[in-house]
Chains A and B, each alone.
Chain A
Amino acid sequence: MQLTGAQALIKSLEMQGVDVMFGLPGGAILPVYDPIIDSSIRHILVRHEQGAGHMAEGYAMVTGKPGVAMVTSGPGATNIVTPLANAYMDSTPLIVVSGQVATGSIGTDAFQECDITGVTMGITKHNWLITDVNDIPRVVAAAFHVATTGRPGPVLIDFPKDIANASMEWYWPTSVDELDLPGYHPLSDGDPVLVRQAAELISASHRPVLYVGGGVLKARAAEALRALAELTGIPVVTTLMARGAFPDSHPQALGMPGMHGHYTAVTALQRSDLLISLGARFDDRVTGKISSFAPDAKIIHVDIDRAELGKVRTPDVGIAGDCRLVIEELLSAIAANGDAPVVQDLAPWWQQIHRWQEEFPLYYETTDGGAIKPQNVVEQLRDAAPDDTIVVAGVGQHQMWASQYWEFNHPYTWVNSGGAGTMGFAVPASIGAKVGRPDKTVWAIDGDGCFQMTAQELVTATSEQIPVKIAILNNAYLGMVRQWQEMFYEERYSEVYLSPDLPDYVKWAEAMGCVGIRAESPEDVGPAIEKANSIDDRPVVVDFRTDAFEKVFPMVAAGQSNDDIVVHPHQGTPSR
């Protein structure tokens, strides 16, 4: 069967099981948009290519399937650089197909030419420039294989226009051996000797903590993790990337560690004698000052990316492997350990943990008749939403409050930009999430600064009938920057004020075909949420006018030790 390159590309995507892709056409990618008309793949036309990338990420994070985005050459391709960088930091499987000028024009500074494989080399797991039409099926299959196996990540396929117009005899690779990837060997199970050593360390520990990262979700290991936690009785912290990997309602859940983590989660890591790190990478936002992080703890580090073992902290036992397989091996090793205790008596450890939980719970000040507290908005959204609601956040204070105050009881219900910290992520990512899981309620909790960066994608949501709900915690500031300027720059506020009224979020929402709702005082919050939840035929935007002076606590200042965690001023100062 003879196909054009463009037809072969679309057919290859269909062969990979792609049911939806996000994109925006242009000159160089034009030939590929023609066969889309006849394809089974749903194409969602975005208003800016960055939106396509974040939508594909949101889709991938809730479905576990790779997200696919298609853009044209030059500025189309550079507009999707931020999503690629974001997906690289958060290990999200993302496939970007970019148009490119014809092979004969490459290097001539042709119209809309950009060396996008060069630009994205450092922020993709791998990328390809197709120079032979016969390579298309093989490269597409290789791209999906690389993006979804091992440590997942973004890939880019650069697709010159003449290749799209050339013709080839169709084939489809039937095995990994045909993908021409001689240097790519993703890991699977862990070394049994090391797994036994890990079981022995666990058996000897008095103050262990399961330090759970996003890798547990990528490995679909939530059930295995729960079995390990319940067998051992060890407390569990879930990082910003792992919220939902272990139920917050579980008695062993301590919440989120890190710069704005729960006091107990942060302090339990600090006082631990054994960290069992599963799919986490000792990020600076979790460890604080690395030299004083968990000083008494031995480290078991499980990661599918061998380079993470020892990158930041040298493990006592480092196991390279898939989290789910290694946890299952660990369960077997513990069972086979005979008379050795699973763990030491953890009662004193739990007593200590419960004291921390009682002494320093999450706290914010409530006053009658005052401004809307952003934390309270999150609590009311949480209490009014179905248990398996998908929550999506941008980056900043609202993101931290969403992570702190929501109760995540299911995996794949939390979508946010963790490593890259990409403002503007929430609106497009929530659209992608709703496309991936149309059966679920999707609430984006966004900031006013973030919302303004990518709000135009709500036009996409309306026209494609994707009924997401957006809660803007509108404090009229770039709130996290404002918080830092208040705390560390002597209240010298530099370029952080935005205005509560400009733009008018309700009118803007309505102009984009959404329902716009405003909540100006605490008594408006409940009815606004109720109204938003009653609408399911179009997107809803709620403008919550929140207290501009509210800060995120607890907080570990950048570069400080986690021992120096600061709680809300009303809670006093924790003793060291």
Chain B
Amino acid sequence: MSAAQLTALAGGRTAKPHHHILSVLVENKAGVLSRVAGLFSRRGFNIYSLAVAPTDNEHFSRITIVVDVESAPLEQVIMQLDKLVNVVSIGELSPSEAVERELMLVTVAVGPTERSQVIQLVGVFGGEVVSVGVDRITVMLAGRPEKIDDFEGLLEHYTVVELQRTGRVALPRLDRH
């Protein structure tokens, strides 16, 4: 399936035009995530998704925030975030200029017939079966958020027991010129 087809198939979870990605480099200190989240709530800004982990330098973490800019102009969100003393730098990534990835774990209830169907589907999407039970199966899929949306949409034909997505992480797309 082409990227365009995947996007067309994508359900309601993919970044909408009013979603922007902020890549926020912060000091890796206690309470920093709370400061960032607190700023969003007290200023009335909406977070669509958020992913955080340390970078290659242990002193810093990177928070990837998908912001719903219908709640406030993006510029205002960035300027307020920038005032947090622990925020070192903020990059804005437009979806067309970024590579975005997300990971999903999902447990599906499967009978004898569904088991092979789900395993096949996982294979088509390049996912992986990570845990197998008597009547359940847990699979992992990583990739573009649209692809995850698409896979999640197809799982609607089965009984999803539990589903967890990480929220997206993103970095700028590299310049080829």
Contact = CB atoms under 8 A, between A and B. Distances in A.
- Do A and B bind? yes
Interface of A: 117-118, 121-122, 125-126, 129, 146, 181-184, 305-307, 309-311
Contacts of B75: 310
Given A121-B35, A122-B38, A126-B85, A183 B80 contact: no
Contact of A117 (B26, B31, B73, B83): B31
A181 B85 contact: yes
> Which 6 pairs, one residue from A and one from B, show the smallest C-beta to C-beta distance?
A307-B79, A183-B88, A126-B85, A183-B87, A184-B85, A122-B42
A183 B85 contact: yes
B110 to A, nearest CB: 43
Contacts of A118: 31, 34
Given A307-B76, A311-B76, A182 B38 contact: no
B142 to A, nearest CB: 31
Given A117-B31, A182-B88, A306 B79 contact: yes
Given A183-B86, A306-B82, A121 B73 contact: no
Interface string B138-166: 00000000000000000000000000000
Nearest to B85: A126
Contacts of B80: 307
Interface residues of B, number: 22
B34 A121 contact: yes
Determine which residue in A118, A183, A311 has the highest number of CB atoms from chain B within 10 A of its CB, and name it. A183
A70 to B, nearest CB: 22
Determine which residue in B35, B38, B87 has the highest number of CB atoms from chain A within 10 A of its CB, and name it. B35
B30 interface: yes
B84 interface: yes
A305 B80 CA distance: 9
Nearest to A308: B79
Nearest to A185: B82
22 contacts: A117-B31, A118-B31, A118-B34, A121-B31, A122-B38, A122-B42, A126-B84, A126-B85, A126-B86, A129-B30, A182-B27, A182-B88, A183-B26, A183-B27, A183-B85, A183-B86, A183-B87, A183-B88, A184-B85, A306-B82, A307-B82, A307-B83
A465 B82 CA distance: 44
B75 to A, nearest CB: 7
B73 to A, nearest CB: 7
Contacts of B42: 122
B149 to A, nearest CB: 34
A183 B80 CA distance: 13
Contacts of A305: 83
A504 to B, nearest CB: 43
A56 to B, nearest CB: 21
A311 B80 CA distance: 10
A220 to B, nearest CB: 22
A306 B75 CA distance: 10
Contacts of B87: 183
B78 to A, nearest CB: 9
B60 to A, nearest CB: 8
Contacts of B34: 118, 121
A121 B87 CA distance: 14
